[in-house]
Amino acid sequence: MDNLIEVEQRNNYGQEYLYPINAQGKRLAKLLNQKTFTDRTVSQAQDLGFIFELVVTSNLGKGTRWPNIKEFRFPLQ
């Protein structure tokens, strides 16, 4: 899907940021001259038809109840 932007949420010094993790997301961030997406840029990109999906990959499978699951995906509203 060309309009799918996969992002990963990371915490830097108490602030939450959305980092693009697929090629399409990285291209959009580069076009915006940013490394992360803000609420405003996500909202505006969604208005243009982009679909954002939050991918959670940190430490899943290591001592969790679901050892075979490597990632979770959630659409951003």
Please enumerate in sequence order all residues whose Cβ is within 8 A of that of 7, keeping only pairs 6 or more positions apart, or say none: 18, 19, 20, 21, 25, 37, 52, 53, 54, 55, 76
The string of pLDDT tens digits covering residues 42-61 is: 889 888 999 888 887 655 44
Query: Which residue would you say has higher pLDDT here, 5 or 70?
Result: 5
Q: What pTM value is reported for the model?
A: 0.73
Mean pLDDT value across the chain? 79
Question: Tell me, what's the pLDDT at 25?
Answer: 94
Question: Tell me, what's the pLDDT at 76?
Answer: 67
Mean pLDDT of 28-34: 95
Listed by start position, the domains of the chain span 4-75
Mean pLDDT of 21-33: 94
